[in-house]
């Protein structure tokens, strides 16, 4: 009988961590997750989605605590480590730059060094969650050969971790792969990211529970995919004999404005825009009611304006390509938020 594979996931309570845990448990992995203690229970999402599996184990740890990370890698002896934990909100990273560096950069170095200290270089494969934000305003489409020009504390910290992973691969032979992922969303996306903020507001406005959606930079363009597709790509990277770096993206670009229009269209509302800049508003074409406004407080000190990925390498080498379209992504997210309002359950409590 072949032995059950063992995975260790940092950031298991987040969007990708909870979806990846479910994906790996479905594949009969034994899954260990690092969770940090909080005064509210942050493990609800993962427990609700995957708690019925026998092979899920959660351990208290923090990415800023090298000793505990080392001890847990020693105790769990994983075949695969997925390093997903990070301070992930780009705007927040401008307010807490040192925390972004500590968690996203140093935290990654703790994981890599632990593997070396424990002489596990040949026993474990590591996924490092790198980001399209590392490209900054480099012209699109961006791929593995594009230069980097990070322009937020988040992206600078992620780029440090990216290079740290490459250095451990080249210098010490670690099997570590960087996934340079473009934005990927789902009904369990955190509520502060723009897609989920929009779909949640659209559902609440339809239900008469919210009047207006306030947004920042409407012109910002992102390459938005579905997290379910990306989880499979992440896993595929660690199934390769040799470690490497891969971009995962859809190759399709949409602005925040387009995402908003599409989400409202899903509930039968056509938006028309009036005014300019911070005075711009979005109105219901039929009733004239103001549904969207611009809030200057939501602009970043420096934003990345246009991200569009080229995932040809992942397609060729991993056989990966995204299946879920932009329209289906938006519809699924709006429907999940509608259902959440109706049922009183959060989207992560629902199946699917
Ligand atoms: P989430 O924000 O949903 O989850 C982040 C996770 O990191 C949470 O589990 C959080 O725990 C954990 N975490 C944060 N700080 C610490 C810490 N100090 N110690 C331990 N755990 C910590 O992010 P996503 O799931 O969206 O992203 C997963 C990874 O992929 C991240 O590294 C992100 O930067 C990267 N990425 C994401 C993309 C996306 O579009 N989603 C695109 C490109 C890269 P808690 O629940 O306690 O807060
Ligand atoms: P991003 O995602 O910064 O790309 O990082 P986010 O959804 O936060 O912003 C996308 C774009 O929308 C603009 N925007 C707003 N953003 C938020 N959050 N709230 C608003 O009200 C709003 N209005 C406009 C932003 O200015 C930005 O241009 C995400 C995270 O998951 C990172 O961890 C990950 O690395 C990258 O995606 C790839």
Residue nearest atom 26 in ligand 1 by C-alpha distance: 15
Question: Looking at the structure, do residues 110 and 145 belong to the same domain, yes or no?
Answer: yes
What is the domain-level CATH number for residue 146?
3.40.50.720
Print pLDDT tens along the chain (352 aa). Answer: 578 999 999 999 999 999 999 999 999 999 999 999 988 888 877 887 777 778 999 999 999 999 999 999 999 999 999 999 999 999 999 999 999 999 999 999 999 999 999 999 999 999 999 999 999 999 999 999 999 999 999 999 999 999 999 999 999 999 999 999 999 999 999 999 999 999 999 999 999 999 999 999 999 999 999 999 999 999 999 999 999 999 999 999 999 999 999 999 999 999 999 999 999 999 999 999 999 999 999 999 999 999 999 999 999 999 999 999 999 999 999 999 999 999 987 776 665 4
Question: Looking at the structure, do residues 157 and 261 belong to the same domain, yes or no?
Answer: no
Question: Looking at the structure, do residues 138 and 214 belong to the same domain, yes or no?
Answer: no
What is the domain-level CATH number for residue 295?
3.90.25.10
Question: Looking at the structure, do residues 127 and 50 belong to the same domain, yes or no?
Answer: yes
Question: Looking at the structure, do residues 162 and 311 belong to the same domain, yes or no?
Answer: yes
CB of 20 within 6 A of ligand 1: the answer is no
In a domain, 46, yes or no: yes
Question: Looking at the structure, do residues 165 and 248 belong to the same domain, yes or no?
Answer: yes
The pLDDT of residue 42? 84
Question: Looking at the structure, do residues 72 and 31 belong to the same domain, yes or no?
Answer: yes
CB of 17 within 6 A of ligand 1: the answer is yes
Question: Looking at the structure, do residues 339 and 310 belong to the same domain, yes or no?
Answer: no
The pLDDT of residue 350? 63
Q: What phi and psi, each to the nearest 5 degrees, are found at residue 227?
A: -55, -35
The pLDDT of residue 47? 80
CB of 15 within 6 A of ligand 1: the answer is yes
In a domain, 352, yes or no: no
Q: What is the DSSP letter of 101?
A: I
Question: Looking at the structure, do residues 244 and 209 belong to the same domain, yes or no?
Answer: no
Which atom number of ligand 2 is nearest to the Cα of residue 300?
A: 26
By the 10 Å C-beta count (0-12 exposed, 13-18 middle, 19+ buried), 100 is classed as buried
Of 10, 12, 16, 180, which is best to mutate to test ligand 1, by the most ligand atoms within 8 angstroms of its C-beta? Answer: 16
Strand arrangement, sheet containing 213-215? 213-215, 290-294, 281-284, 271-274
Which atom number of ligand 1 is nearest to the Cα of residue 182?
A: 42
Greatest alpha-carbon span in the chain: 67
In a domain, 83, yes or no: yes
**Torsion on CA atoms 331, 335, 336, 340, rounded to nearest 10:** 160
Question: Looking at the structure, do residues 78 and 110 belong to the same domain, yes or no?
Answer: yes
Other beta carbons less than 10 A from residue 335's beta carbon: 17
pTM of the predicted protein model: 0.97
In the block, tokens 């379209």 appear at: 325
Question: Looking at the structure, do residues 161 and 287 belong to the same domain, yes or no?
Answer: no
In a domain, 273, yes or no: yes
In a domain, 178, yes or no: yes
Of 19, 88, 106, which is best to mutate to test ligand 1, by the most ligand atoms within 8 angstroms of its C-beta? Answer: 88
In a domain, 1, yes or no: no
| Segments forming the whole domain that contains residue 267 | 194-219+255-304+334-347
In a domain, 182, yes or no: yes
In a domain, 329, yes or no: no
Question: Looking at the structure, do residues 31 and 112 belong to the same domain, yes or no?
Answer: yes
CB of 87 within 6 A of ligand 1: the answer is yes
The residue count of the chain comes to 352
Which atom number of ligand 1 is nearest to the Cα of residue 13?
A: 9
Which atom number of ligand 2 is nearest to the Cα of residue 88?
A: 33
- What total of structural domains would you count in the chain? 2
* Ligand positioned closest to the Cα atom of 162: 1
């Amino acid at each position: 009988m072949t032995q059950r594979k063992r995975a260790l996931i940092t950031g298991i309570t987040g969007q990708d961590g909870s979806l990846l845990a479910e994906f790996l448990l479905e594949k009969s992995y034994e899954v260990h997750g690092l969770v940090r203690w909080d005064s509210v229970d942050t493990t609800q999402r993962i427990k609700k989605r995957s708690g019925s599996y026998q092979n899920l184990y959660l351990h208290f740890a923090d990415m800023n605590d090298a000793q505990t990370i080392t001890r847990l890698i020693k105790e769990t002896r994983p075949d695969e480590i997925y390093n997903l934990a990070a301070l992930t909100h780009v705007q927040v990273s401008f307010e807490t730059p040192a925390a972004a560096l500590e968690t996203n950069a140093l935290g990654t170095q703790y994981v890599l060094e632990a593997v070396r200290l424990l002489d596990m270089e040949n026993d474990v494969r590591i996924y490092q969650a790198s980001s399209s934000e590392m490209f900054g305003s480099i012209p699109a489409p961006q791929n593995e050969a594009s230069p980097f020009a990070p322009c937020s504390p988040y992206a600078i910290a992620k780029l440090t971790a990216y290079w740290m992973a490459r250095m451990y691969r080249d210098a010490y032979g670690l099997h570590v792969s960087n996934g340079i992922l473009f934005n990927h969303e789902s009904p369990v996306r955190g509520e502060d990211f723009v897609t989920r903020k929009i779909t949640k507001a659209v559902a609440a406005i339809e239900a008469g529970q919210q009047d207006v959606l306030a947004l920042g930079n409407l012109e910002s363009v992102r390459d938005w995919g579905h997290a379910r597709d990306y989880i499979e790509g992440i896993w595929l990277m660690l199934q390769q004999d040799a470690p490497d770096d891969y971009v995962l993206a859809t190759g399709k670009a949409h602005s925040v404005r387009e995402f908003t229009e599409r989400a409202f269209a899903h509930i039968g509302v056509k938006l028309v825009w009036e005014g300019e800049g911070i005075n711009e508003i979005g109105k219901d074409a039929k009733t004239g009611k103001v549904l969207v406004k611009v809030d200057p407080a939501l602009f970043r000190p420096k934003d990345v304006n246009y991200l569009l990925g080229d995932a040809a390498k992942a397609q060729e080498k991993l056989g990966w390509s995204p299946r879920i379209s932009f329209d289906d992504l938006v519809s699924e997210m709006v429907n999940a938020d509608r259902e959440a309002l109706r049922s009183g359950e959060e989207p992560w409590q629902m199946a699917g």
